[in-house]
């Protein structure tokens, strides 16, 4: 707004100055033409030694009308007025000396009136062909010029002020109209803060709709997260009660002096698994749709490089059949968790050969397969492993929670997961990803 | 073997150090990253156990710093965070293995032994330089089928020499890797243990498994035999 007004004012200033300068140049050119017409009317005087201007050869009537505002004077080399127009009724000040052939244009004030004065120095041969110097000077009353210029300025600035005022009103109205949806957004945010509503409910113009839709996704994610934290805390508290009851029983027993270390250790392990599982579940982004895309191939490369280090003495041969990149809309940490757990299992249980391959499924999704040449698992065992997360208080010693965490994450992202017997003899895990 | 433990929880540090000493390790410990980095730069060691969340300098920064200086000490990281993102970051930084807290000390020791063996080029827990063999898990040693009756320190000397079979090990290196700071570092003690080991390994003086290189140190002369090869 301020920029626009400043631009308009600057434009008006430039316009005003340009018009003023053009008018001044036009005035100077008109006076130059008048001097040329005076020179056309030059005659020798009777003695032939000097020159004069024949009044009957002048076309400009204003020079003949008394006090017309246009005056002409011819000076000789001695600065004597050898001819003056009939319009002159008062003495006019002398001019400064200028070189022959030069023009001198000035705007000046004399007797409280503004004048344009144009002087031109010439050389004219006398009867003896000696060059004599003369100055032709024109005085023009500039009152009308400045009056017109003032009128132009007045008109210009009046219209400018009117235009700016109109523009301000229009802009204010447009802004009020266009910001109305944002005002509505503000009101809805206040309502969400006050827990009167759970998300943005109004229909918004298409410019703002993506913002409110994304905010709704974010809000829903936050609400899910909060709900998950609540559930996790609830699950944690409940599932810790069983091992705590056992420990409490141990401390109450008569033989507490000889606490059964094996039972103690089992219960501590169980509590550790419960806490680990709930922590992993709580820290997952769980189906975040606004995560930036991750490259599955890069994640697989990072995990394989890390596992190569951990299982170096096993010298696992990893065979990969992957495209250069597979871009997924998934939280990087969740993707690392899924691939890390599956590949860790493959490395751990393989006899030394793991195959990772990807192909396009008929539905257009990417099918990632991780296979190993280990013992493999029976369908019943797989079901038990996947259900570990749901009944944590039934976890027994030695059971990992990796696959249960993977199952939770893939479910939240609607990623298909299937287990099969690998052609290598061990377990084969298939994941169906939606690519970006 | 000498281990450096960098763990800021003093109770956990005390337990880890205690367990390592019980297993025959000489141990140096620090409770912050700065001091830990100093120990790793200034003292020789066979394995470092580094917690990731350390005051002053994080575990990752410590590992990064020693790897940049070209150190290839095996590093086992301890982390309270079990997510793969944290494990991968630790391994990417230069760690060799990770252990998620809480952990069983048996698992910690097993992983430490694997790292030490791996650093010396052994892949199996049973180290064999035929006819002498050593089980690093049960800490028993044999010549053919005959089990040797070694003291804890004799076992430590034999394990170190066999892990570095074929290499010349100076008395100073042996002392630094086998003794605690406060322990007696008189090099005569090493000579005594070497003499006793020779008698127990080779009573008939047929094999001469430990060679003395005057002014340079000792060398285990029997050839390595990789299991399964």
Per-residue pLDDT 10s for chain A (436 aa) are 788 888 888 998 999 899 989 999 999 999 999 999 888 888 877 666 678 787 777 777 888 888 888 999 999 888 888 888 888 888 888 888 888 888 999 998 888 889 999 999 988 887 777 888 889 999 999 998 999 999 999 999 999 999 989 988 998 999 888 888 888 999 999 998 888 888 888 888 888 888 888 888 888 878 877 877 777 787 777 777 777 777 776 766 655 556 677 777 877 877 887 787 777 777 766 665 556 788 999 999 999 999 988 888 788 999 999 898 888 888 888 899 999 999 999 999 999 899 999 988 777 788 999 999 988 887 777 777 776 554 444 444 444 677 888 888 888 888 889 888 888 888 899 998 887 7
A139: tokens are 């005085």
Residue B83 to residue A280, Cβ atoms within 8 A: yes
Residue B210: pLDDT over 50: yes
Residue A306 to residue B102, Cβ atoms within 8 A: no
Nearest chain A residue to B93 by CA: give it: A306
Look at residue A243 in the predicted model and tell me its pLDDT: 73
What's the mean pLDDT in B198-227?
Answer: 85
List the beta bridge partners of residue B134: B127, B141
Chain A partners of B103 at a C-beta cutoff of 8 Å?
none
Helix axes A261-283, A209-252, angle to 10 degrees: 170
Q: What is the pLDDT of residues B57-71, one digit of tens each?
A: 999 999 999 999 988
Min Cα–Cα distance to chain B from A402, Å: 10
Q: Please give the Cα distance from B39 to B28 (Å, whole number).
A: 8
Q: What is the pLDDT of residues B110-126, one digit of tens each?
A: 999 989 988 887 777 78
B37: tokens are 């980095």
Q: Where are the alpha helices (DSSP H) in chain B?
A: 10-22, 33-42, 59-68, 84-93, 105-119, 152-163, 171-178, 187-201
DSSP A141: E
Min Cα–Cα distance to chain B from A286, Å: 14
Is residue A369 classed as helix, strand or coil in its secondary structure?
A: strand
Nearest chain B residue to A278 by CA: give it: B82
Residue B88 to residue A340, Cβ atoms within 8 A: yes
Min Cα–Cα distance to chain B from A183, Å: 42
Residue B102 to residue A268, Cβ atoms within 8 A: yes
Chain B partners of A315 at a C-beta cutoff of 8 Å?
123
Residues of A near B (Cβ–Cβ under 8 Å) read 268, 272, 276, 279-280, 283, 302-303, 305-306, 309-310, 312-313, 315, 332-333, 336-337, 339-341
Nearest chain A residue to B100 by CA: give it: A276
Residue B123 to residue A310, Cβ atoms within 8 A: no
* CATH number of the domain located at residue range(s) A2-149 in this protein: 3.30.450
Helix axes A332-349, A402-412, angle to 10 degrees: 140
B12 inside 8 A of chain A by CB: no
Cβ pairs bridging A and B (under 8 Å): 48
Nearest to B84 among A313, A315, A337 (CB): A337
Q: What is the pLDDT of residues B26-58, one digit of tens each?
A: 899 999 999 999 999 988 899 999 998 898 899
Count other C-beta atoms under 10 Å from residue A431's C-beta. 22
Question: Does a cis peptide bond (omega within 30 degrees of 0) precede residue B102?
Answer: yes
Share of chain B above pLDDT 90, in %: 28
Nearest chain B residue to A282 by CA: give it: B83
Chain A partners of B111 at a C-beta cutoff of 8 Å?
none
Q: Please give the Cα distance from B25 to B31 (Å, whole number).
A: 19
Min Cα–Cα distance to chain A from B91, Å: 6
Q: How far is CA A194 from CA A182, A191, A227, B187, in A?
A: 18, 5, 18, 77
Residue A309 to residue B97, Cβ atoms within 8 A: yes
Residue A340 to residue B87, Cβ atoms within 8 A: yes
Enumerate the domain spans of chain A.
2-149, 216-290, 291-436
Nearest to A276 among B82, B96, B97 (CB): B82
Do A163 and A130 contact (CB within 8 A), yes or no?
A: no
Residue B124 to residue A313, Cβ atoms within 8 A: yes
Is residue A201 classed as helix, strand or coil in its secondary structure?
A: coil
DSSP A313: G
Residue B91 to residue A310, Cβ atoms within 8 A: yes
Q: Please give the Cα distance from B195 to B188 (Å, whole number).
A: 11
Chain A partners of B82 at a C-beta cutoff of 8 Å?
276, 279-280
Min Cα–Cα distance to chain B from A364, Å: 29
B172: tokens are 């100073």
Chain A partners of B100 at a C-beta cutoff of 8 Å?
276
Q: Please give the Cα distance from A177 to A171 (Å, whole number).
A: 10
Nearest to B83 among A283, A305, A339 (CB): A283
Look at residue A258 in the predicted model and tell me its pLDDT: 61
Tell the CATH topology of A291-436: Heat Shock Protein 90 (3.30.565)
Min Cα–Cα distance to chain B from A265, Å: 10
pLDDT category, B229, cuts 50, 70, 90?
Answer: very low
Do the domains A291-436 and A2-149 match in fold?
no
Residue B177: pLDDT over 70: yes
Which of A316, A325, A343 is CA-nearest to residue A406? A343
Look at residue A394 in the predicted model and tell me its pLDDT: 45
List the beta bridge partners of residue A230: none
Question: Does a cis peptide bond (omega within 30 degrees of 0) precede residue B131?
Answer: yes
Say how far residue B169 (Cα) sits from the centre of its chain.
14
A172: tokens are 């204010």
């Amino acid at each position: 707004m301020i920029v626009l007004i400043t631009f308009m004012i600057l434009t008006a200033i430039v316009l005003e100055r340009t018009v003023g300068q053009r008018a001044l140049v036009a005035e100077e050119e008109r006076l130059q033409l008048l001097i040329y017409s005076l020179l056309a009317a030059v005659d020798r005087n009777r003695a032939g030694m000097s020159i004069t201007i024949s009044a009957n050869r002048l076309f400009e009537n204003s020079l003949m009308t008394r006090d017309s505002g246009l005056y002409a004077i011819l000076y000789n080399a001695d600065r004597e007025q050898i001819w003056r127009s009939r319009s002159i009724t008062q003495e006019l000040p002398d001019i400064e000396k200028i070189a022959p052939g030069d023009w001198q244009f000035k705007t000046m004030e004399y007797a409280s009136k503004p004048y344009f004065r144009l002087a031109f120095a010439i050389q004219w041969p006398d009867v003896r062909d000696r060059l004599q110097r003369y100055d032709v000077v024109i005085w023009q009353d500039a009152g009308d010029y400045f009056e017109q210029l003032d009128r132009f300025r007045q008109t210009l600035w009046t219209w400018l002020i009117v235009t700016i005022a109109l523009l301000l009103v229009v802009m204010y109205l447009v802004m009020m109209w266009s910001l109305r949806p944002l005002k509505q957004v503000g009101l809805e945010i206040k309502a969400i803060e006050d827990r009167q509503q759970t998300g943005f409910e109004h229909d918004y113009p298409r410019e703002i709709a993506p913002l409110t839709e994304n905010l709704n996704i974010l809000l829903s994610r936050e609400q899910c997260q909060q709900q998950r934290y609540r559930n996790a805390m609830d699950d944690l508290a409940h599932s810790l009660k069983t091992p705590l009851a056992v420990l409490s029983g141990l401390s109450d027993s008569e033989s507490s002096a000889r606490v059964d270390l094996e039972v103690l250790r089992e219960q501590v392990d169980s509590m550790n698994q419960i806490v680990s599982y709930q922590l992993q579940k709580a820290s997952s982004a769980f189906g975040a749709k606004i995560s930036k895309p991750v490259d599955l191939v890069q994640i697989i490369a990072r995990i394989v490089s890390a596992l190569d280090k951990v299982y170096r003495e096993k010298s696992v041969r990893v065979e990969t059949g992957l495209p250069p990149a597979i871009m997924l809309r998934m939280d990087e940490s969740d993707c690392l968790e899924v691939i890390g757990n599956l590949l860790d299992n493959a490395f751990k249980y393989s006899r030394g050969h793991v195959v990772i391959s990807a192909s396009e499924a008929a539905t257009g999704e990417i099918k990632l397969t991780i296979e190993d040449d280990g013992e493999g698992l029976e369908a019943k065992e797989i079901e038990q492993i996947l259900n570990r997360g749901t009944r944590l208080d039934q976890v027994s010693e030695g059971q990992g929670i990796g696959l249960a965490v993977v199952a939770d994450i893939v479910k939240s992202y609607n990623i298909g997961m299937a287990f099969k017997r690998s052609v290598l003899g061990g377990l084969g895990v298939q994941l169906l990803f939606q690519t970006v | 073997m000498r281990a450096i433990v960098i763990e800021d929880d003093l109770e956990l540090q005390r337990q880890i150090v205690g367990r390592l000493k019980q297993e025959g390790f000489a141990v140096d410990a620090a409770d912050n990253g700065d001091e830990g980095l100093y120990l790793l730069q200034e003292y020789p060691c066979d394995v470092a156990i580094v917690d990731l969340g350390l005051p002053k300098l994080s575990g990752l920064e410590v590992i990064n710093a020693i790897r940049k200086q070209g150190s290839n000490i095996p590093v086992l990281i301890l982390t309270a965070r079990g997510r793969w993102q944290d494990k991968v970051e630790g391994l990417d930084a230069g760690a060799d293995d990770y252990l998620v807290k809480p952990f069983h000390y048996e698992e910690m020791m097993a992983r430490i032994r694997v790292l030490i063996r791996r650093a010396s080029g052994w892949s199996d827990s049973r180290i064999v330089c035929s006819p002498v063999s050593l089980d690093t898990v049960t800490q028993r040693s044999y010549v053919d089928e005959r089990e040797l009756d070694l003291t804890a320190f004799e076992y430590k000397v034999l394990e170190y020499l066999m892990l570095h079979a074929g290499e010349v090990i100076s008395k100073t290196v042996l002392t630094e890797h086998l003794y605690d700071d406060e322990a007696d570092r008189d090099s005569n003690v090493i000579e005594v243990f070497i003499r006793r080991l020779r008698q127990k390994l080779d009573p008939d003086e047929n094999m001469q498994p430990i060679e003395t290189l005057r002014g340079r140190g000792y060398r285990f002369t029997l050839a390595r035999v990789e299991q399964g090869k």
